[in-house]
Amino acid sequence: MNNGDTMPAIGLGTWKSAPGEIGAALQEALRIGYRHLDCAAIYGNEAEIGAALRESFAAGLVRREELWITSKLWNTAHRTEDVVPALRKTLADLGLDYLDLYLIHWPVAMRPGAHYPRTAADMISLEETPLTATWSGMEAAKEAGLSRHIGVSNLSIAKLSGLLSEAKIRPEVNQIELHPYLQQGAMLEFCRAEGVQLTAYSPLGSRDRPEGLKAADEPVLLEDPTLQEIAARHDASVAQVLIAWAVHRGTSVIPKSVNPTRLAENLAAAELSLTSEDMTAIGSLDRHRRYVDGSIWAVEGGPYTIANLWDE
């Protein structure tokens, strides 16, 4: 980060981790060495994560300062004055005094109370509540010491570049979907040049997404024959190849698991060295496939479309 803080490259994703299972999974993750935790208010499990963190601190498993904890602002709190209260609620749920990183979850604004969009009336356009207004709230949160770093998620190059030119405090991270089927080479180059860190979400293809967010014909990343062949050659799993690939590209990566064996397997991907031939072979797999395509925001008659969301 700009001030020399470091974010551990492999973090634990918590999207889709049910409230009843995340507590035990988190304690196991901390026990085996995870030090980076990716959360969000909308995941509906921050209170359970907070309880598990409190227990872990009390048991001496880990200290707060050893952890990197990220959370995200939901779409219903995009007005400048709503950001700090939303962050305070997340801090109260997590039982923390500060976050390491707070992100604007989506470049999409919604009416307070709307939660998920049902009709166009739930949506607020970016003309009415621009990202720069939300960013002012994020800057206030950082200045108040509530988050050590601030950033964004799901921003296109166009939106990120617009924000970078307006921001008083630059966004330090863009968290986006990244995996061999969605490599986003132009974004990687842009962020490298601008000194913005990328975090890769859905690195394993997020097969546990709700059915409504899945396409019938979608390719299954974990079953890709090229990845399977590389994994076999290294005596590793496909998941480990995917995580190592993300790290080799200089991104951080947040695979989600609630299973002790897979938690350990994913963290051990840090030891896997891919060859330049492996990287080239994986490089050829890109098919611009978004598993999280944002169509949920494209409510009929509303201001968002898939095209204007991704600017492509």
**Enzyme catalytic residues:** 43
Question: For ligand A2P, which residue of 99, 110, 200, 204 counts as binding (CB under 6 A)?
Answer: 204
CB-CB neighbours of 120 under 10 Å: 12
Residue closer to ligand A2P (CB basis): 31 or 262: 262
Per-residue interface string for the shown chain with ligand A2P, residues 236-275, x marking contact by CB under 6 A: -x-x---------------xxxxx--x--xx---------
Residue closer to ligand A2P (CB basis): 55 or 265: 265
Longest alpha-carbon distance in the chain: 53
Provide the minimum distance between the beta carbon of 239 and ligand A2P in the complex, in angstroms, as a whole number: 3
Question: For ligand A2P, which residue of 175, 206, 251, 252 counts as binding (CB under 6 A)?
Answer: 206
Our finding on whether 207 is near ligand A2P (CB under 6 A) is yes
Cβ neighbors of 254 (< 8 A, separation 6 or more) are 10, 11, 12, 13, 36, 38, 175, 199, 200, 201, 203
Question: For ligand A2P, which residue of 11, 23, 171, 203 counts as binding (CB under 6 A)?
Answer: 203
Per-residue interface string for the shown chain with ligand A2P, residues 10-49, x marking contact by CB under 6 A: ---x------------------------------------
Provide the minimum distance between the beta carbon of 250 and ligand A2P in the complex, in angstroms, as a whole number: 19
Residue closer to ligand A2P (CB basis): 15 or 68: 15
Contact range with ligand A2P by CB under 6 A, out of 118-126, 142-150, 198-206, 302-310: 198-206
Residue closer to ligand A2P (CB basis): 22 or 104: 22
Contact range with ligand A2P by CB under 6 A, out of 50-58, 136-144, 197-205, 294-302: 197-205
Our finding on whether 202 is near ligand A2P (CB under 6 A) is yes
Residue closer to ligand A2P (CB basis): 63 or 288: 288
Contact range with ligand A2P by CB under 6 A, out of 58-66, 112-120, 181-189, 202-210: 202-210
Catalog residues that contact ligand A2P under the rule CB under 6 A: 13, 202-208, 222, 237, 239, 255-259, 262, 265-266
